[in-house]
């Protein structure tokens, strides 16, 4: 299990996003995979949630990014 760094919750369009970034040693800031509310998603954009929702986001950074 890789450790993650949690940021303070963010609010966007009245939904709250609880974001954790998992960064392998020596990786760069390039997102390789997102998990939103326990489900992997395609791409690197988190879909907007309805107002009042609390969304858990886990972002894995690519260890091989330049």
Dist CA 19 CA 56 (whole Å): 6
Question: pTM, whole model, 2 decimals?
Answer: 0.75
Supply the pLDDT for residue 1: 37
Q: Give pLDDT, residue 59.
A: 86
Please write the tens of the pLDDT for every residue from 12-50: 999 999 999 887 666 566 777 899 999 999 988 899 999
Integer Cα distance of 38 and 32 in angstroms: 16
């Amino acid at each position: 299990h890789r450790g993650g760094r949690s940021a303070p919750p963010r609010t966007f369009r009245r939904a709250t996003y609880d974001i954790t970034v998992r960064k392998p040693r020596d990786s760069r800031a390039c997102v390789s995979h997102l998990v939103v509310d326990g489900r992997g998603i395609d791409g690197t954009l988190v879909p907007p949630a309805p107002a009042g929702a609390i969304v858990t986001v886990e972002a894995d950074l690519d260890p091989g990014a330049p």
